[in-house]
Structure 1
């Protein structure tokens, strides 16, 4: 059916708005890339916009040859990978029984989970609990308080509910227990939703700086996200990187160092996302159809 002129106008305006929104996200990234790869004189002149001038990788060499940035990047990887695995395991462990109709208390526990989305103890009580458990300056302080996201758990639960009940009946007839049904039937069918939730958790752990700022006081345990945030706010950290013994002979501007740090931080997520994109929309849509 051929669209009417009104529909064509709507599509045109809609596409124009989406294009402007995309450009508003793309231009800052291009500017950061240009600052990171431009040389000292070009950045100091203030004429760097969307394309590098006087190509230089000194800023990245300065970051990666220093002691803090590689260690902070490794901490980011450890926090993200371990936290991602733990969160997926425990979120699945919470979602699966709540999706089984034979679980008599599933309505009560579902409402209990939803209650935590509306009310929480707050920052100070949470800090006191973490401190009382002697978790300060450990990564468990980053993993345990947010181990299960209720929103993500409800998406997985809804996906499990969308699976045909006949699958569970046939598995029971064949003698499968609940664990075997979960591992051999449910999980292989749940790749789209798990890829989506893994992306949610992964981005959350990778970009987490506030919890690290509160609970981790040892500099060698802090992640790159917090270090970049400190680089943006603190001039002394940038001067320390510039004056490090293994720094290059050519000094770098604070803008170049900040831009290089931001690129080092966001590049892993930009690399991972295209591999999960094909599952992303499918996982969210399937996990939100049935209540």
Structure 2
């Protein structure tokens, strides 16, 4: 039950062939681009929908709410992505998930709580809607932006099923898919008894090393967003 000595053999077995480093790079690309697109479209949708003067606002909100309750299903989504020629491309991951309806409603609720007088004063001074959004709304929305950014980023970092469905090339796989494949492969080798490794490394140690390898990057980012994250979640929940 107790380890005999401290060693990093489990980590060495995970990264020895370099495939995990490639998967890490792929996941960083998927996460950065996906999160940036998510936040861009979430803000662009939430800002106008937070204005009561927007014509057809209630109809659009009901249409977005409908997508939270019902979806097209896995097979229609795959057929659509395949028809667009996006299979084995990261765009097959990004385009269908450009915006989360739930996160958009959280952002909208936060923006509705901002004083309208700020926008009216800026408009009187000749500021355009884009200027108001960029120079007034976004700086005041840092807490909720930080919270939603972390939500989106964690979702992309942990992406598994969509990568498994849409990505065919092994050199484009995400970290989670590659970790699962490597855990399964190493566990099989250990069960067969590959030399002296069986006495040192167990399948459980490989799984534990894989979990640590996957969560450390997120843990490194979280402290920088913690203050805004907690405030953003509380504000979003209260005003929602």
Q: Same fold (TM over 0.5)?
A: yes
**Is the Cα–Cα contact under 8 Å of residues 84 and 202 in structure 1 kept in the other structure?**
yes
Q: Which segments of structure 1 move beyond 4 Å, counting only runs of 4 or more? A: none
What does residue 262 of structure 1 align with?
Answer: 211
Instruction: Give the direction of change, closer, same or farther, for the CA distance of 1:76–1:53 in structure 2 (3 Å limit).
Output: farther
Structure 1 residue 209: deviation in Å? 0.3
In structure 1, distance between residues paired with 2:209 and 2:186: 17
Structure 1 position 60, deviation (Å): 1.7
Assess if the C-alpha contact under 8 Å between 1:114 and 1:150 holds in 2: yes
CA distance in 2, matches of 1:287, 1:256: 40
Map of 1:103 onto structure 2: 54
| 1:263-282 mapped onto 2 (5 Å cutoff) | 263-282=212-231
Deviation of 1:238 (Å):
6.1
Q: Does the aligned pair in 2 maintain the 1:238–1:257 contact within 8 Å?
A: no
Contact persistence 1:155–1:287 (CA under 8 A): yes
Measured in 1, the distance between the counterparts of 2:4 and 2:168 equals 39
* Alignment partners' CA distance in 2, 1:90 and 1:53: 52
- Spell out the pairing of 1:79-228 with structure 2 (5 A cutoff): 79-228=30-179
Distance 1:61 1:236, change over 3 A: closer
**SS of residue in 1 equivalent to 2:159:** coil
- State the structure with more CA Rg: 1
Long gaps (5+) in structure 1 = 1-46, 241-247
Aligned length: 235
Q: Distance in 2 between matches of 1:61 and 1:264?
A: 11
Q: Which runs of 5+ in 2 are unaligned?
A: 191-196
The question of whether the paired residues in 1 share the 8 Å contact of 2:187 and 2:203 is answered with no
The alignment status of 1:65 with 2:16, answered yes or no, reads yes
C-alpha displacement of 1:172: 0.6
**Cα distance in 1 for residues equivalent to 2:185 and 2:19:** 16
SS at match of 1:79: helix
Across the aligned residues of Structure 1 and Structure 2, the Cα RMSD in angstroms comes to: 2.2
TM-score of the two chains, using structure 1 as the length reference: 0.75
Which residue number in structure 2 is paired with residue 16 of structure 1? none
